[in-house]
Structure 1
Amino acid sequence: MRDEELYPQLLELTEGLVRMWKAMLECHHAQYITISLAYHSRNTTGTLPGDARREIMTRLLEEIELFGLSFANWINSHTSYVEALNGWLQHCILLPRERTRSRRPFSPRRALAPPIFVLCRDWCAGIQALPSEELSNAIRNFLSDLHNLMEQQNDELLKKQNSANASTPPESEIKTNEDSGGESANLCCVHASLTKVLDRLTKLSEASLKMYEDIRQKSEVARTAYYNCRTIRAEKC
């Protein structure tokens, strides 16, 4: 079951993940380029009214929060699955009792073990090395900048409402200019943090694609070595 059923299914899964991350890399790289260029070519003549902007910002905030939570859950589930699979395989290892105290840690490559051991060992090590924490930090920073921008916009709205009937137009104009400058600065921060999120997504996709390509390639090498060894042993017998 382990070598004839589970191993081919894991190979098929890794091949599917190679295709998935290749598509994800193309998608996130295109998003990164688009967002990087969008801020420099923005058109300020079509500014949305306050209510519409707040609605869009609230929706964006909710979607990013959901995305961050879903990403964290996916990473945790993926890691738990691979670690459980690798842990289950360790129960298939039988070593001589007289070597249990002084033996080196089990190495599937050195022992020419079935290729499923190599695949799961590399998968477990690879997923722990992915830059997932960097992406999570970028998402948190983006959410923080969004909160700051929304608070700044709410403060600006309150100031406009309070000064609507004021009898000192020059001061109101000065405050409006100051508020506009603050909003522009916050927009720059939001743009920079969103660009960072997409950059981290692109890097995660690159690392994931490379990881699965390496797993597939090294698993094939291990399979060839394992079956060559079995053939030699069978011929000697």
Structure 2
Amino acid sequence: MSNAGKGPRLWKKPAQAGRQAHWVVKDGSKRIATGCVAKSFEHRPPKEAEEFLANYIALKHAPERKLRDVDLIPIADVLAIYHADRRDGFEEEVQQRRFDSSINRLNDFFGLYMLGEMQESLTKKFVKKRGNQGGARRDLENLRAAINHHADQNLHHAVIKVKLPPKVRHETDGSTGAKLLGCFGLVGGTARCRQFTAGDTRGKRSRRRSIPFVTLPGSFLSVSTPAPAQLPLQQPRRAANMAARSSI
């Protein structure tokens, strides 16, 4: 999408002679100051700038809440209604900010399209532009929720679907646990441990015993507890000798 086709968005305007860098709203050829000074190390706009943008979009669009044909409904209206109805449902400020950022990204890309133009090719372009499949999927989940919310309000009747990219897969075969076991020398199906008998002291030779363990699929680390039959308790030598004498 060309810059001319993008919706309102925040832009960090570079410092000029006698003026600091600051955040502005870019809306086509318009530049609207937010009143927020931009710090040199900032890569994301501050909370105040995001709130300014949200209010600007709400006042600019003021979407009509009435039944319309999907070919006459800008996706920007769908997002604005969902944002207005959903945002206060988040209790934590960080959740609100993430929600604002997601809606702003969606509005930047889809805002000027009509709801009837929604198709898989658009979502694929969005995923490519986003550059992060997991993040793109979360944004598109918000778009899908916004469209469903719009339909639930009886503002359109057509069925509009949003094609999501596949979920990012993670290791679930237990290989992570196996790698960790390898770090501790627990490989080959047994773990080596020392077993001290009565009368042993530090520095003296001790017996070694293999303890079987099991790594469960999908688990990070799982070591089984040996059954008593596998590790019989050894009586102290002195107690054993006394038992032998009493039997004579």
Normalising by the smaller structure, the TM-score range is: under 0.3
TM-score (norm 1): 0.25
Computing the radius of gyration from Cα coordinates, the structure with the larger value is 2
Using the size of structure 2 for normalisation, the TM-score is 0.24
Higher-helix-fraction structure: 1
